[in-house]
Amino acid sequence: MAPWVKTGGLADVSAALPKALVRLGHRVTVILPRYAPIPFPPGEFAGSVHVPVDGVARSAGFYRRTTEAGVEVVFVEHPPFFDRPVIYGDYEDNRLRFAFLSRAALEYSRSRGERPSVFHAHDWQTGLVPVYLKAFYGDDPTLHRLPSVFTIHNVAYRGQFPLDTLGRLGLPWNLGTSQGLEYHGTVSYLKGGTLFAEMLNTVSPTYALEIQRPEHGLGFEEVVRSRGADLVGILNGVDYDEWDPRHDRHIARPYSAKDLSGKRECRADLLRAFGLPEAPGLPVVGVTSRLVWQKGFDIVAAAWWDFLHRPLRMVVLGTGDHSVQEGLRHLQRRDPTRFSVRFAYDEALAHKVMAGSDIFLMPSRSEPCGLTQMYALRYGTVPLVRSTGGLVDTVDPWDAGTGRGTGFRFDNADGTGLVWALDKALRAYRDRAAWAKLMRNGMARDFSWERSAREYVALYRRAIGRT
C-alpha cells in the first residue's frame, strides 16, 4: 500500500480506493503486513492474537494508524514471515506467509468485536480469506456469513502450492478436489478466492471478458467462466491528487487544458533530464514501464530500425528483461541525440516523462487495466497503445474527420502493427490544431477514483445480498 511499500499498481489501488470510499461516507480499514521497508513501529499498538498455521500458533501483532484521508491502516507484525529483503519473492514458505496474513486479517476483525459489512481481498496473496470465512468462521458471532469480494488483478499469478498445503493449514481435505482449490495437481489460492467469494471483479471490463478466453485466461479461463455471472470489470481510477499537471510538484511548470503553454517548458525540462538537445518540430515519445515481454517492449526493441528512421525523439524510464534493455540501449547508441534510456525507477522522473512527452507508448500484449495511459491522458500526452484489456476501455481511437478520440490503438502484437499506429500518430502530430484538440479530448476524460468507488459500493451491496 502506497506510500509505505510498493512494487506495482496494487499499492496505488489499495491507497486510492479506500480514500475514495471514505469520501463517499464509508468507514474503511486496510490490513497489510509490516514488511521490512516499513519503519517499526508503524502505528500505535492495537493488540495481538495467535494465528494457527502449520500446526503452530504464531503471534500476530497489530499496529494501527489513521491516514490524513481518514483511512484506518492496520499493519500485521510477524518478523519471521515479513521482515525480509524482498516483499513477495519466490520464498519456499510463501504458502504459509500469505495464509498467515489472510487468517490474521480475519482474527484482527474478530478481536475487535466489530462486524464489517464486507471483506475485500486482492489477488492470490489473500485468496484464502473467502475460503477461511466459510471453513472456520461459519458459527463465529462476529464473522458468520460475512460476505467477501475478491479482485483478480492479474490472472497469470495463481499462488500454486503442493496439495499437502491444505493439511498444513488445517483446511478440510475435501477442498483438494477440482470443485475446491485443486488446480492441475496443486492448491491454488487464486482459485480459492475465485470460487469462494460472493462476488468477483477484475480491473477493467475488457479484461473481465478476456480472462474467460484461452488467450488471456492462460488455462484459468474455465475457473473464471464458472463464476462468470458473478464477475464484473471495474476500471481502476486515477488519484488526481498525485497525477494532475495543474498542481504536480515534480514538473517544471503547471499547465491545464485551457492553457497548454506550460507543456513546452515541461518538454524542455524532460529533454535536459535525459541529456537530449532541443529539436523543435520532433515529437517526444515517452515510456515509463517495466520493460518486459508482457508489456510488449521486445516489439519496440525489435523495431529499432523503424524508430531510428522516424521523425521523433524517445525517452525510456524503467527496468526489465536484459534482452529488451539491450535492444533499447542499441537504439540509444545508434543516435544518442534522439534516444535516451534510463534503466531505473524514479517517481519524480516518471512525472516529468508524463508531462514532457507528446506521445506515450504502451504496446502491451496483456494489460488488465493499466494506469499510466490514464495518467498520460490527464497530462495531454497522447497514448499509443495496443488494443487489449483496460487499454481498450480507456483509449478511444482518434478520428480526424470527427475530431473525436483520445489516442491511437493497434491490434497485432508485432512491429508491423506498432509502426502502423506510430506513423498514424506522427501524421496527426503535424496538424497542430488537430493535435491540440486530441490533447484536450484526453485531458477532459474523468477516471477519478470516486467514479470507480461508486461501482465498488454497488459490488459490495451485491455481495451482501448473497449472504
Tell me the HSE value of 25 on the side-chain side, using a 13 A CA sphere.
1
Q: State residue 465's pLDDT score.
A: 96
Strands (E), 273-377: 284-288, 313-317, 339-342, 359-362
Angular region, 177: left φ>0, alpha ψ -120 to 50, beta rest: beta
As assigned by CATH, the class of the 9-237+450-464 domain is alpha beta
Domain extents in the chain: 9-237+450-464, 262-447
CATH number for the domain formed by residue range(s) 262-447? 3.40.50.2000
Domains 9-237+450-464 and 262-447 share a fold: yes
Low-confidence stretches of the chain (pLDDT beneath 70): none
pLDDT digits (tens, 9 = 90+) for 129-173: 999 999 999 999 999 999 999 999 999 999 999 999 999 999 999
Q: State residue 289's pLDDT score.
A: 94
Q: State residue 250's pLDDT score.
A: 98
Q: State residue 8's pLDDT score.
A: 72
Question: pTM above 0.75?
Answer: yes
pLDDT digits (tens, 9 = 90+) for 271-325: 999 999 998 889 999 999 999 999 999 999 999 999 999 999 999 999 999 999 9
- Taking a C-beta distance cutoff of 8 angstroms, is the pair 390, 409 a contact? no
- Other C-beta atoms lying within 10 Å of the C-beta of residue 139: 8
Give SS3 for 263: helix
Average pLDDT, whole number, for the chain?
Answer: 96
Please choose, from the candidates 272, 271, 152, the residue with its C-alpha nearest in 3D space to the C-alpha of residue 212: 152
